[in-house]
A and B are shown apart, each in its own frame.
Chain A
Amino acid sequence: MALKNLSKSQYRFLDYELKEQMKRDLITENQLEEIMKTYEESEGLNFIKVILSVGAVLIGLGILSFIASNWIHIGRVIKLLVIFLALGGTLLTSYKTEINSPKISKAFLYLSTLIFGAGIFLIGQIFHLGGTWSDAFLIWTIGTIAMAFLSKDLLISIFAHLLAATFILSGFDKNIIILGLFVTALFYALNKYYNYSSVMTFFTNLISLIFILYLCNYFEIEAFYTIVLFFLIGLGMYYMKHPLNLHVFQLQGLIVLSLSGLLLTIDEIWRDIFHLDYGGIFSIVFGICFLIYLLSLVKKQLLTPLIFTCAIIMRYYFDTLYDFLPKSMFFIFGGMILLSFGVYFERVRKKRGGDMG
């Protein structure tokens, strides 16, 4: 079973409370241990770790920038040798410091991942490799995924996701279907390896969504159908029950369905399919149904639909009243709508203890 991740303070509170219950003989020591075994304490932000990581990233960026400057005084072979030596050096330092200074060891792992990227771009520069060169990001992604598997470091894994997103977004006009599927599958496998961390699932789902957007664009699916597809995906993510971080799926599902629903309230999108006369009618009918649906979700004290309800109301307000109302009235009413939503938003948030679902 996946361990539930708690912040440091939550973990300590739970531990303290359960010990209190044990003292009152409400639970046994074994039960306490069994309960605590189902939770894990989040590492949280650590000042030294932040400083070391930022330092590593800055050095890495410096190396990337140095490669980009294409300095004439160092030959190409020497530059390549420097990259390979730097890779070996940083990995060796990471290995040597792993036991006694794990934070320094991690910083050197980050640095080696960036140096690997610099190596990729150096090769592109040396051989004047042209085109949009999304392949560079694919190779960087694969290397970083390998690193994420071996290091089990969440930051490296998130970086791999960002690289994969860049790869897919820069390859929109190319056939990267098999490669995209392969990378997405690798990320879901990586989820298992990371004990089904919520952050990992969030980013992997994001990659899947970007990949679906790529597929829609590649197969030239019209904007209307793409948005409807995303609306259905959002509904699926929100309502389908499964054991993999359901709360992450639900949050992302809500965001996806709300964003695509918001787009479907624009009549131009419907006009592409239902031509000029009916586009406006369909968008208004959809807008009303969607607003009712969002309000039903708001009733369940969910914050994401509340934000989008506010967005829809403001969108209609701008579209219909901007030209008719005097500007001063327009802004005063607009401000009042936003203020009322703000007050309601704050109330809901307090009731839910800051949970954004």
Chain B
Amino acid sequence: MKELFKKRGFKYILIFVIFTLLLTSMMAKPVLTLFLGQEIQIKVKAYDPRDIFRGDYIQLAFEIDEISVDKLDSDIRQLSESNLEKNLYNKELYVLVTQQGTYYEVDKVTLKTPKEGLYLKTKFLYAQRHENNEVTGIIVEYPLDKYFVPENTGKELEEKVQKGEAYATIKVFKGYAVLEEILMEK
């Protein structure tokens, strides 16, 4: 092995292989999801900021971000209400979705991986509370919150999104979701 490392060209080939492996490993999950995942539509709600490395994008929120308390599974409801934020902080949640007309909506949220049904992995953001501090629901975050658009474009789409006249097509595979496109309602 030491002999191999001493060869000048080997180092360059190795670094090319490492770079290629890292880049392709990043693509593995999204590509697998695009090929094998189930396509669903969800309603989106937005603004148009810029990421210095990835360019312009539309910041998205989804209707399935807001989950009312009755959709929470018993294992989540059992957690003390006063410490809900602490107990769920940075925890992975599983959002089961079912088709209601054209779009998919939240059916149930669990702490354990669901054995059946279509689900998305998500992270708890914060709890919504009534004036008397009673929890009325939770807000979650999917890694689908950015839709990248060509530079200085996307205004029309953004307006439609803000008016609630757009929906997202996503592919879901074993809880992992990839945002395919944002389309305007006809």
Chain A residues with CB under 8 Å of chain B are 64, 67-72, 83-84, 87-88, 91-92, 94-95, 98, 112, 116-117, 119-121, 123-131, 136, 139, 142-143, 146-147, 150-151, 173-175
Contact = CB atoms under 8 A, between A and B. Distances in A.
Contacts of B27: 123, 127
**A91, A129, A136, A139: which has the most chain B beta carbons within 10 Å?**
A129
Given A70-B150, A127-B178, A128-B179, A136 B12 contact: no
Question: Interface SS of chain B: helix, strand, loop or mixed?
Answer: mixed
B110 to A, nearest CB: 20
B1 interface: no
B15 A130 contact: no
B151 A131 contact: no
B20 to A, nearest CB: 7
B49 interface: no
Contact of A121 (B12, B53, B153): B53
A70 B90 contact: no
Nearest to B123: A131
The 7 lowest CB-CB distance pairs between A and B, nearest first, are: A68-B55, A127-B30, A130-B145, A128-B179, A121-B53, A130-B146, A69-B151
A70 B18 contact: no
15 contacts: A68-B53, A70-B54, A70-B149, A84-B20, A87-B16, A92-B12, A119-B23, A121-B54, A123-B23, A128-B147, A129-B146, A130-B143, A143-B22, A147-B15, A173-B90
Contact of B18 (A64, A84, A143): A143
Given A95-B12, A123-B27, A116 B51 contact: no
Contacts of B30: 123, 126-127, 129
Contacts of B112: none
Contacts of B155: none
B11 interface: yes
B14 A120 contact: no
Interface in B2-20: 8-9, 11-12, 14-16, 18-20
Nearest to B141: A131
B157 interface: no
B78 to A, nearest CB: 23
B37 to A, nearest CB: 12
Contacts of B126: none
Nearest to A129: B143
Nearest to B151: A69
A91 B16 contact: yes
Nearest to A84: B20
A70 B148 CA distance: 8
Contacts of A70: 54-56, 148-151
B104 interface: no
Contacts of B57: 128
B144 interface: yes
Given A116-B19, A143-B19, A150-B14, A125 B55 contact: yes
Given A68-B52, A91-B12, A128-B147, 8 more contacts: A68-B51, A70-B150, A83-B23, A84-B23, A91-B16, A128-B57, A139-B22, A142-B22
Contact of A87 (B19, B52, B54, B90): B19
Interface in B129-153: 141-151, 153
Contacts of A127: 27, 30, 178-179
A166 to B, nearest CB: 11
Given A143-B22, A147-B15, A125 B178 contact: no
Nearest to B53: A121
Contacts of A126: 30
A158 to B, nearest CB: 18
B14 A128 contact: no
A279 B20 CA distance: 56
B23 to A, nearest CB: 5
Contact of B23 (A72, A116, A147): A116
B90 A69 contact: no
